[in-house]
A and B are shown apart, each in its own frame.
Chain A
Amino acid sequence: MTRRIPHPDRRTVLASLAATAGLGTVPLRAADAPPLTRPIPATGERVPVVGMGTWITFNVGDDQGLRDRRLEVLRTFFELGGRVVDSSPMYGTAEDVIGYCLSRLPADVPLFSATKVWTWWQNNGPEQMAESRRLWGVERFDAMQIHNLLNWEGHLETLLADKQAGRVRLIGITTSHGSRHAEMERIMASRPVDLVQFTYNIVDREAERRLLPLAAERGLGVIVNRPFRQKQLFEMFARHKLPGWAGEIGCANWAQFFLKFVISHPAVTCAIPATSRVDHMRENMGALHGPLPDPAMRKRMVDYVENL
């Protein structure tokens, strides 16, 4: 779990927030039932299978109202059993907004912090990672990933030294939109990384062919981005009725249907859907409970959406 740097004004901030209608009035509590978790192979640490991404959704600039709304999204995420929060310096003000939100939440929220290094130049990597730590308000990241494999050889060298020195716990590499899978596969097979992140959803299943089996074989944690293909899956399918049998796998809505498909793959550690809305966060986190589809049900899910 990430150790957070105490915010100097926390007490004052929380007191003023508690006095503000709508903020700070909902106590943090664990969800009634324990959430579904999976171990990160490198450490054995278990994390909830639904995390949170921040692409677009947490890039809200300096807008105070929008920042406070994201605070409620993150508060809900932790209340409902979430842990893994993923971001990147590429996402504009997202890391700054995460730090803003974290500084207004209790210090003991069970954050698993994951961000990325995203720069062409290896020499700029340490400075960028230090800035990310400052923005989030954490002493070190649980996972530092090389964004879109950008200068991965240089950054991997830095991160291996950082891991040795205890500045980062886990090293990862990322890609998205199904790009550069061959290169990612090569790195997974030959380099000492702990985590991989790539796109996988009920429509984009290319990762099933090579990346997911290889991750299982090599004992790598898998973070899945774009589980909703941004929001395209809703645009494609949400006008249709959820199948009656969705209840058998504990799905009350399409978000849970899409998420349960992703997290039921045995090689997946967690999925990181992004949202800017509390109600959508509640829907997403519902996938942390109830039965997961077995292989036959997964096939049924694919067949269903392919025939819509």
Chain B
Amino acid sequence: MIPVLPYTAEVLDSLLARYNAAIVPLPAAAVLVSVAILGHAARPVREGDRMASLFLAAAWAWVGIVFHLRYAATIDFMAPLYGGFFIAQAVLLLWTGVWRKQLVYRVGDHTAGRIGCGLAVLAIAGYPLLGLLAGHDWTSLPWVGAAPDPTALLTLGLLLTARPVRPHLLVVPVMWSLVAGMTALSLDTPERLVLPAAAILAVVVAERIRRTPTP
């Protein structure tokens, strides 16, 4: 059974448009940083891994606090709960990637890395483009680092490039993907199904990596 959301797609678009307008130029900056992180994963730079984790943590915290708690909470009684999970993910990323330095992002010469890189590109450019093709106004497009769906998608992609796999960091993005999938079905916005599809792919790939014996 598809859950009924307390708002319509039209209202969500309106909220995203007001949110995007209010946080300019943050989405553009977040896109540039995301591209730089992908560049680092391909050709590593010093301290790049910690900086990438710091950016991801900041993005999750921003989306949790500003998008969910400040904006989405006005139309969705579930948003405070989502906000809490996003903040928790930010803390996990800080702890694992910045404090303990356990996240090393490398595209490398392996399938998982390439898939991860593909998901990251999808998050940065493909996801907003899909929204545009689906008929959403450009002002209401979801941008990586600012909106929950592409942020979760970027995180899933980058985590696939990291070794070893850190399953605990996949939990919240995968949970959000389920929410995004239900939102897509409830609001009849099939373009948002990209995220749950990507999450399934990420979980399958991560599990294969985990089961593959290291030489």
C-alpha gap A90/B18 in the complex (Å): 22
Give the distance to chain A from B210, nearest Cβ to Cβ, in Å.
Answer: 40
Among B4, B5, B6, B14, contact of A66 (Cβ-Cβ < 8 Å): B14
Contact of B6 with A90 in the complex, beta carbons under 8 Å? yes
Residues of A within 8 A of B6 (CB): 55-56, 59, 90-92
Binary interface encoding of chain A residues 77-102 relative to chain B, with 1 for a CB under 8 A from any of its CBs, else 0? 00000000000001111000000000
Of all chain A residues, the one with the shortest Cβ separation from B13 is A63
> How far apart sit A63 and B75, CA to CA, in the bound complex (Å)?
12
Give the residue of A92, A230, A276 whose beta carbon is less than 8 angstroms from that of B75.
A92
Interface residues on A, range: 10 to 19
In the assembled complex, which residues on chain B have CB atoms less than 8 Å from the CB atom of A66? 10-11, 14
Residue in B4, B5, B75, B77 whose beta carbon sits within 8 Å of that of A61 in the complex? B75
Write the nearest CB–CB distance from A236 to chain B, whole angstroms.
15
Give which listed residue, A55, A60, A230, contacts B11 with CB less than 8 A: A60
Taking CB atoms, residues of chain A closer than 8 Å to B111 are none
The answer to whether B74 and A60 have CB atoms under 8 Å apart is no
Q: From A56, A62, A63, A92, give the contact of B77 (CB < 8 A).
A: A92
**Bound complex: CA A276 to CA B10 (Å):** 12
Residues of B with C-beta under 8 A to A276: 8
Chain B contact residues: over half helix, strand or loop, or mixed?
loop
Whether A59 lies near B11 (C-beta < 8 A) is yes
Given A63-B14, A66-B14 in contact, is the A92-B76 Cβ separation under 8 Å? Answer: yes
Q: Mark A132-167, 1 if CB is under 8 A from B, else 0.
A: 000000000000000000000000000000000000
Against B, the Cβ 8 Å flags (1 = close, 0 = not) of A152-194 are 0000000000000000000000000000000000000000000
Bound-state Cα–Cα, A92 to B77, Å: 7
B8 and chain A: residue at smallest CB distance: A56
Closest 4 pairs between A and B when the two form their complex, measured CB to CB:
A92-B75, A63-B14, A59-B7, A61-B75
Query: Known pairs A59-B75, A92-B7, A92-B76. 15 more at Cβ < 8 A?
Result: A56-B4, A56-B5, A56-B6, A56-B7, A60-B7, A60-B14, A61-B11, A61-B14, A61-B74, A63-B11, A63-B15, A90-B6, A91-B6, A92-B74, A92-B77
